[in-house]
Amino acid sequence: MSDNYTQSSGLLFTTLAEQVKLPFVTVKHAAELLRAHPNTEELERLLQTIALTSSSALRLIDSYLLSVSLQAEPRLPLEPVSLSSVMYDAAHSLDAYAKAHDCEIDLRLAGKFGPVMARREVVQSALESLGYSFIDAASRPDVHTKVTLAVRRTAGGTSTGVYSEISKLNSGLLKQAKVLKGIARQPLGDFSAGSGAGVFVADALFDFLDSSVRVAKFQGLFGLAANLTPSNQLSFV
Amino acid sequence: MLAEQYIRFLEREGYEVTWCENAQAGVAAADELHPDLIIVELLLAGHSGVEFLFEFRSYADWLNLPVIILSGISQLSSGVSSSTLLELGVSAYLYKPETSLEMLGRNVRKVLRPLQKKAK
């Protein structure tokens, strides 16, 4: 195992640890409120907060663990994957968490695109990690927001990503963030107040598909997407 | 969700709470609403909470406005020294993972008590 890998993995773990602290605080506070007001009319909402916050943290940990386990594989065998199906499942997984943040998940699958060479579980984990980051970054108390999952054809293949109205995402910010990952508290400062673990875990996962997270635009929205290689074999079917 | 929990808790304690998403909005809201207390997260998107406080304290009107730091980063990890906190007139530094809502409420009451006495 190379020193570079060990160092990179350590930094990713640091961003993850930093990120999952806050869901634990949220759950702790929800428990405290339930103890103080056991018959509160907010019981249902608080229980939902505990369930959804725990799920989002667990999903992020699972995605990180997936990236660690893939490191052990000499070369990940890719297979044709239908992006529309993966994105539908990712959107479905994010939906409850988004609703609890007064956020709407918008799925855009219009246009012609065939299967891509990837691994289904890797793409879905990466998209969900990005999705949770965007929901957290976009949500504001008492403001309805929207997070869009979209696929579009590009010159180099098929781009799949997550978008919102957060306009401060740009290539310079992302490039700098990748250098500051695990070192700075807010490597993606203008995008997220947290450690941005979801973005870096997604980037690590897309790396196994010979891709990476890049800044992208979609119909006036700003986001992060990865370019995947179309499956030539099936595009003729 | 976490911000909402703090807001709901403080509202339930009887305070009127305004949440601002960044330092710029915080300065604008303070100018408009004349709050009795400001609670600041050091990890503000696009701006350091300490920079915000230095800017905030540069206005004569807000020189003595009580401030509590409520942050996801501990004081030791933040690198903000106690003397800087003193210089900024920070009443309390609360680290989110170690701070219960009840503890937050206690600190808010403690900071606001002199103002309430003065008002009476």
- Render pLDDT for A14-32 as a digit per residue (tens, 0 to 9): 889 988 998 999 999 999 9
DSSP for residue A182: T
List the single residue in B41, B45, B100 with the smallest CB-CB distance to A192: B45
Cα–Cα dist A199/A169, whole Å:
12
Tell me, yes or no, if B57 comes closer than 8 A to chain A by beta carbon. no
Contact map slice: A 133-192 vs B, CB within 8 A: 137, 140-141, 168, 185-186, 189-192
**pLDDT by position in tens, chain B (length 120):** 788 899 989 999 999 999 988 888 888 898 899 999 999 988 776 667 888 888 888 888 888 899 999 998 888 888 889 999 999 999 999 999 999 999 999 999 999 987 776 666
Residue showing tokens 């918008």: A106
What tokens were used for A173?
């910010």
Which candidate, A117, A199, A105, places its Cα nearest to that of A157? A117
pLDDT band for position A57 (50/70/90)? Answer: very high
Per-residue pLDDT tens over the stretch A164-210: 988 777 888 888 888 887 777 777 777 777 788 999 999 999 999 99
- Residue B49's φ and ψ, nearest 5 degrees, are -60, -30
pLDDT band for position A1 (50/70/90)? Answer: low
Amino acid at B6: Y
Looking at per-residue pLDDT, the higher value among A158 and A140 belongs to A158
Whether this model's ipTM surpasses 0.85 comes out as no
Least confident of A155-164, A213-222, B74-83: B74-83
Of the options 3.90.79.10, 3.30.565.10, 3.90.1150.10, 3.30.479.30, the CATH number for the domain spanning A3-228: 3.30.565.10
Cβ-based contacts of A24 with chain B (< 8 Å): 97
Q: Given this model, what pLDDT does residue A2 score?
A: 61
Cβ-based contacts of A186 with chain B (< 8 Å): 43, 45
Which of A46, A185, A192, A195 is the best residue to mutate to test the B interface, defined by the most B CB atoms within 10 Å of its own CB? A185
Shortest alpha-carbon distance between residue A159 and chain B (Å): 27
Shortest alpha-carbon distance between residue B118 and chain A (Å): 31
pLDDT band for position A146 (50/70/90)? Answer: very high
Q: Given this model, what pLDDT does residue A234 score?
A: 55
Cβ separation A29–B43 shorter than 8 A: no
Which candidate, A99, A104, A98, A111, places its Cα nearest to that of A219? A111
Cα–Cα dist A157/A112, whole Å:
12
Cβ-based contacts of A189 with chain B (< 8 Å): 45-47
Residue showing tokens 């957290």: A136
Tell me, yes or no, if B15 comes closer than 8 A to chain A by beta carbon. no
Cβ-based contacts of A30 with chain B (< 8 Å): 5
Residue showing tokens 């207390």: B37
Tell me, yes or no, if B60 comes closer than 8 A to chain A by beta carbon. no
Cβ separation B46–A168 shorter than 8 A: yes
Task: Name B47's bridge partners.
Answer: B44
Tell me, yes or no, if A92 comes closer than 8 A to chain B by beta carbon. no
pLDDT band for position A228 (50/70/90)? Answer: very high
Tell me, yes or no, if B96 comes closer than 8 A to chain A by beta carbon. yes
Tell me, yes or no, if B43 comes closer than 8 A to chain A by beta carbon. yes
Contact map slice: A 105-124 vs B, CB within 8 A: none
Q: Given this model, what pLDDT does residue B45 score?
A: 61
Whole-Å CA distances, A20 to A52, A61, A133: 13, 8, 12
Q: Given this model, what pLDDT does residue A237 score?
A: 45
Which candidate, A187, A213, A192, places its Cα nearest to that of A127? A213
Cβ separation B2–A194 shorter than 8 A: no
